[in-house]
Structure 1
Amino acid sequence: MVRDLAGTATLVSAISDEQMCPRSTVAVLRLLTRVRTAVQAAHAEYTGTAPAQDDILDLRALGQRSRTPAGIRTPKSVDLRTIRQRWLRDLLRTWTIQQRPGADEFGRTLRGVELASRALAPRPGTDDPARLRYDDVTAVVESFRTALKLDGEPAGWNYRMSIASHFFALIDYSRRSGTTENLSAAFVRDPATHRIAQEEANEDEIGKAIPEPVIRQLDAHLETLGQGKARGQRTLAPADLQLMYRTLYILLRDTGRRPLEILSLPLDCLETRNDQISLIWNNHKTRRYRRRLPITASTADAIHTWRARRDQLQPTLPPAGTAFLFPALTHLATRPYLHTSYLGETLRHWVDSIPHLHGEGANPHGNPLPFDRALIYAYAFRHSYAQRHADAGTPLDVLRELMDHKSVSTTQRYYTVSLKRKRDAVTKLSAHVVDNHGRPSPCSESAYELRSIAVPYGGCTEPSNVKAGGSSCPIRFQCAGCGYYRPDPSYLTAIEQHINELRADRETAQAMDAAEFVTTALTAQISAFEQVTDHMRRQLDALPDAERHEIEEASAILRKARAGTHTLLPLTVITRTNPA
């Protein structure tokens, strides 16, 4: 840079960096931009025209930066003239100069000020801070309640709460510092009235889990992960980078841990007890360390493969990351293990490079719909892991332990199925209901949900049992011999598991030399349930592949809905009194 600027008279000019250093590299031009920004800010301060005195706020001159997945980004100037009230504009400018907030804090405060300015503009007297009233605060809070994101979509509750908090923190700063003269004492938030109530999650919204068919498509392209624009390519050879990122993907997919928990795994993260392999990991979010998670042998093999190669690379890696499975790749890293931005950027490049990713469903021509690639990111694999277990009927308390949740209500969310998806599943399966002999017995969607109740191995239409919510079967749940028994393909897994249990019970009864009527009854139940499953299997095999796939997906949805229904025991509270 010094060589190229030898003939330049001044750095305080309107000439672009590219014109000043036409032969320089991108790195030199980036350095020149930072040097010129510092020089121009000092020159403005020396001449009495500091950037804070104008309505165009130069954030670069204030040294503001933000960290993004692509690295450190220097923000540009901000036009404060979008804020219509002069007192509010001056307040934001003064706060920014004196407090020097980070980019995220400034961005949210600016957004809150812009919304407040827009809400106050049509109200009389709001240009004078001394004339502000309690009703003006109400109007501002209402603008936060109905705030939209920059893309026009409704903003989430956390974001709306955040911009409201940042705006009123700015007002509190004004009162403490005396920045705004004569600010009305009535312009204050009432915690009881000016609240942004937390909204219930939209049950029609599909969760953040990546569907299993999409994960299978990603697995098919796993060999290309880490090619091309993989972060860290200057430190490791291409083959080593690919092996590292493939291992990271496998761990994200198979363990459901958060990205930081994977990246910060200790070097000795595997433990074997009684032939069970466990992953040793640290829950940084709740500060619970050395947690144990059961994993499969294939997942452990992926760790062993990378560990062996990582040990060979250790002499070329920074010594700070010696204790970590995925160490930092440069000596300038701020953490001893790989940064999350490296993983996020490499995953994004890989996903975008895959030619085709199909989602669920098809268009009117029968062609599969493309999947939104923006929904594939490192944290989403945690949701997929939980949803996979919920779909498989993993008990709630077991999944809570696997996810390491403190509250069972957090785990319960994964069992909640959107109303739309459940209705679609009911529509598909209501046409495939059979009776206790396996003969087709289709019903309407309303009859499926209103005139039947889910019992362990199928639907029950016996009126008294339906009325009692499935807890009052007249023949003690002998479903296989009941004329009111109405199973469908979503119960196939449960029925087949029950058949295996009945066979085991029959073997036990025979070994105990039980009476003949016991084994005869068990054999009859097995035969009846096998008749049902055989008929359903034949019906499914006769369907076209696309329709059979839809039935299987609908079955998984309803199994998840049933697994998420947990009824509390009817306990009675007894108050004990001391004897007289």
Structure 2
Amino acid sequence: MSIASVLSRLPAPRTENAVELDAGRWVRWLQDHLDPAWRPAEWRPECWLFTGSVQEPHSSVSLCRTAVCDTVVSPANIFCPFCKEGQKKSSLSAAEFARTFVPLRNRVAFGGVPEQCRFTKDGQRCVRPRHCKELCATHYTQWKTHTTRKTAGRWEDTAVPYADTPACPASACPLPGLYGRGLCRHHAQRFREHRRIHPDADVAAWAAQQPPYLAPHQFSLLPLPEPLRWEVLYGLQQVDPWLRIFEPPQVRRMVRDLAGTSTLIGDITDQQMCPRSTVAVLRMLSRVRTAVRAGHAQHTGTAPAQDDVLDLRALGQRSRTPAGIRQSKTVDLRTIRQPWLRGLLRTWTIQQRPGADEFARTLRGVELASRALAQRPATDDPARLRYDDVTAVVDAFRTALKLDGEPAGWNYRMSIASHFFALIDYGRRSGTADTLSAAFVRDPANHRISEEETNEDEIGKAIPEPVIRQLDAHIHLLGHGRARGQRTLAPDDLQLIYRTLYILLRDTGRRPLEICSLPRDCLETRNDQICLLWNNHKARRHRRRLPITTPTAQAIRTWKERREQLQSSLPPTGADYLFPALTHLATRPYLPTNYLGETLRDWADSIPHLHSEGTDTHGNPLPFDRSLIYAYAFRHSYAQRHADAGTPLDVLRELMDHKSVSTTQRYYTVSLKRKRDAVTKLAAHVVDNHGHPRPSSETAYELRSVAVPYGGCTEPSNVKAAGGSCPIRFQCAGCGFYRPDPSYLPAIEQHINELRADRETALAMDAAEFVITAFTAQITAFEQVTDRMQRRLAALPSAERQEIEEASTALRKARAGSTHTLLPLTPLSRTDPA
């Protein structure tokens, strides 16, 4: 579709030359809105030529991958055609071939320095480049003619050396004009083809419209007619900030496929405009057309931001994703039923130009609020809104669902609520919503979205230790296959960096961002204790210290030594980080966390077998859900490992760097199912104070489970007082109501050691005999209980014994996380009333 047919639809009055005048104005508008400083090292506006530079990090241009080859190629990190042929014939790997291959060329590549013609006469040598037989094209032709026709004399007698090399008349063509009509070889052949159709064509006029001979890293807009040439240039300048990397070959193919097109403005699809284009070219064309259409709408006064359909790209909205703007590219605001709310969102978007995440959450909040307000009367008039309307909106946020229909998390619901009310505050501050009722305001007391109590120790968040041992056994697969960074690091280096990252995740329990952003000097030794220096970005607490083991520190040192050797090949922006960014295009100076996450997922998928802790009905191990293996899960595993090992609560809180102890305490909370299973197993192994079996029901076990620190208690008054009213002050071994089970063995053994220490102290103090006798009797009684329980456990099958041990661990963990405070073992001092 031509620009004339598009512009003819505008309602403005027209004259006979209105189309031409509008086209001229459109071109002038494009010229006025072009950036004259756009890529000055690469774009030559006088000849419409773009030459990608290897010094520009945002252009997909580099030297040939072969170390000693200086040929410019695009895209980056590939072999030039000559080296590619050699690599196909070689048995070496691509990395080894690139390091050792030395190309021996029989012709000069584009951009190289050609050798001179060898013809010399009267001491003057021909300066033109060699073509064949060590002669330039002219002298070679003279020699060949003389040899073929076998003329008398020598051809050198009539030949003269040339003191200059004529340039090809085509604009910016780098090849010498040594062929017919003063053209280079490339343009001479093309002109011959042109003359077959236009026999009277003038070579000078034809050459002025021809693009130069293009290398892979170049493109020219000369073949395009006006105004298409200006439209493409404007569109490229507009989309350049959206692109992660600029690829000249894609633009060159787009220019080729636009042959026969007069304008990018029209209703036809990209596929109809360029039916033979590849997906990559169509993607580039779509971006350019979007920018050009937005510019034309601005030129004609019908910019999309003035309508109810917002073009996010036209508003310059960007996203953190490498591909640029997220889908969708346009947003239909007509789904918002209240005109005042729709206008407020449109004005805020145009004036504030929010990012993709901020806009998406604000839009979601506005949509939910619009749906809730639509069910209430008089909400189309902002002046008639009431306090109850705000309540209805907040209720909609409380029950919000994700786009897939699943219940939204508390953080997401809080986020959309905050973004919505921030939009309302913006409307009042800016005067956009000056008629909005003063009663439509959020009440901090009644309009809160309460945080739901979540159990961070749900089964599946912490990777079980048996699964981690299986991962350790397959650590040699980490970094092989699909791993981010293959174009930058050699396979061995890639494996080393990801193996180090995995070890740190497993052994330190830090968050993925805290691991990826570790400083270069992250090890500190104090009093023979090695500490990891890290930054808590979430809580904004920096220079934290975490004790680590020697093997973990050695893994860091191994990678650090290799990192020093790779320093010259890594981007300088990451010089201060242990794991620097691998490309110059990275938005952050350290390794992105998504690189780590994607590589871990690919590694988990590549492991042949991963078994969970349970078995099926046939006794075969169940497969482990690999989706539960992700970077953050190792933090849960670290905390769970310490909680199961009995690490004191305050110590684990310091290790995890939690602000609140309640957060740490969740790791000591056992799920009801695990606790119920543990009670079922241990209720059958309860003994009395003499070590004789006293099995009980699950209900009775639960009634005693909070009674005393060294076992269960069935004494009625003590059970009623929740373990705080023991008549004999926890001398459990001499009590007939005492009911221990195997989960109390560690506590009983520790108490036996304490009693022995107290007995030695009493002996040193020359205490009375009955004191020593009491200590000895307690020790003997407790030892009798532990000996009999251990003998019974030893007689059980190994599988059952393992189940009891796991159940005991679960119940010990449950008791450690309990907020119940037991009666102190030492008597409290009393003051008698006067």
TM range (shorter): 0.7 to 0.9
Equivalent residue number for residue 270 of structure 2: 16
- One-letter code of the match for 2:297? A
The answer to whether 1:259 aligns with 2:512 is yes
RMSD, matched Cα: 3.5
- Which residue of 239, 242, 252 corresponds with 1:3? 252
TM-score (norm 2): 0.61
**Aligned residue number for residue 343 of structure 2:** 90
- Structure 1 CA distance, aligned partners of 2:737 and 2:475? 49
Residue 486 of structure 1, CA deviation: 2.1
SS of residue matched to 2:320: strand
Does the CA-based 8 Å contact 1:209-1:387 persist in structure 2? yes
Task: Tell me, in whole angstroms, the C-alpha distance in 2 between the residues paired with 1:570 and 1:557.
Answer: 23
Rounded to whole Å, the distance in 2 between the matches of 1:533 and 1:206 is 30
Task: Name the residue aligned to 1:477.
Answer: 730
Question: TM-score under structure 1 normalisation?
Answer: 0.86
Distance 1:21 1:552, change over 3 A: farther
Counterpart residue number, 1:538:
794
Correspondence 1:191 to 2:444: yes
d(CA) in 2 for partners of 1:569, 1:517 = 27
**Residue range with higher mean Cα deviation, 272-281 or 239-248:** 272-281
Give the 3 Å change call, closer, same or farther, for CA 307–364 of structure 1 in structure 2.
same
- Is the CA contact (8 Å cut-off) linking 2:571 and 2:581 kept in structure 1? yes
How is 1:95-494 mapped onto 2 (pairs within 5 angstroms)? 95-180=348-433, 182-201=435-454, 206=459, 208-359=461-612, 361=614, 370-494=623-747
Determine the C-alpha separation between the residues in 1 that align with 2:730 and 2:445.
52
* Contact 1:506/1:522, CA 8 A, preserved across alignment: no
Mapped contact 2:704–2:714 kept (Cα < 8 A): yes
Q: Deviations over 1:351-375 (max 9, x none)?
A: 3334444445556666555544444
AA partner of residue 368 (structure 2): L
Give the secondary structure class of the aligned counterpart of 1:3.
helix
Cα pair 1:424 1:554 within 8 Å, conserved: yes
Give the match for residue 327 of structure 2.
Answer: 75
Q: Measure the CA separation in 2 of the matches of 1:424 and 1:23.
A: 63
Q: Is the 8 A contact 1:263 1:337 kept in 2?
A: yes
Spell out, residue by residue over 1:52-74, the C-alpha distance to the aligned partner (whole angstroms, 9 max, x if none): 24433322222222224x76553
Cα drift, residue 22 of structure 1: 4.9
Name the residue aligned to 2:230.
none
State the alpha-carbon separation in 2 of the partners of residues 274 and 379 from structure 1: 31
Post-superposition offset of 1:288: 3.2
Aligned-partner Cα distance in 2 for 1:54–1:371: 52
Cα separation, 2, equivalents of 1:355 and 1:480: 52
- Deviation digits for residues 107-143 of structure 1 (CA, Å, limit 9, x no counterpart): 1111111111211223233233344333322222211
CA contact (8 A) 1:60 1:75 kept: no
Q: Secondary structure, in 3 states, of the residue corresponding to 2:429?
A: helix
2:808 aligns to what?
Answer: 555
Q: 1:204 to 1:402 in 2, by over 3 A?
A: closer
In structure 2, distance between residues paired with 1:203 and 1:233: 35
Distance 1:556 1:71 in 2: 49
> Structure 1 residues 94, 500: CA separation in 2 closer, same or farther (over 3 Å shift)?
same
Equivalent AA in structure 1 for residue 327 of structure 2: P
Cα 1:16–1:371 shift into 2, 3 Å: farther
CA separation of 1:542 and 1:483: change in aligned 2, threshold 3 A: farther
Report the CA distance shift for 1:306/1:537 in structure 2 as closer, same or farther (over 3 A): farther
Long gaps (5+) in structure 1: 573-580
Q: Is the 8 A contact 2:724 2:823 kept in 1?
A: no
Change (3 A) 1:296 1:105: same
How far does residue 292 in structure 1 lie from its aligned partner after superposition? 2.0
Across the two proteins, how many residue pairs are aligned to each other?
567
Q: Which residue of 1 aligns with 2:303?
A: 50
State the Cα distance separating 1:510 from its structure 2 match. 9.5
Cα displacement (A) at 1:247: 1.0
Alpha-carbon shift at residue 321 of structure 1 (Å) = 2.5
CA distance in 2, matches of 1:549, 1:534: 13
Secondary structure at the residue paired with 1:38?
helix
**1:168 Cα deviation after fit:** 2.0
Larger CA Rg, structure 1 vs 2: 2
- Cα distance in 1 for partners of 2:616, 2:271 equals 50
Q: 1:502 to 1:311 in 2, by over 3 A?
A: farther
Q: 1:33 to 1:555 in 2, by over 3 A?
A: farther
Contact 1:18 1:29 in 2 (8 A): no
Residues 130-174 of structure 1: CA deviation (Å, up to 9, x unaligned) = 443333222222111222222323222222222122112222333
> Equivalents in 2 of 1:305, 1:533: separation in Å?
48
Distance in 2 between the 1:246 and 1:312 partners? 18
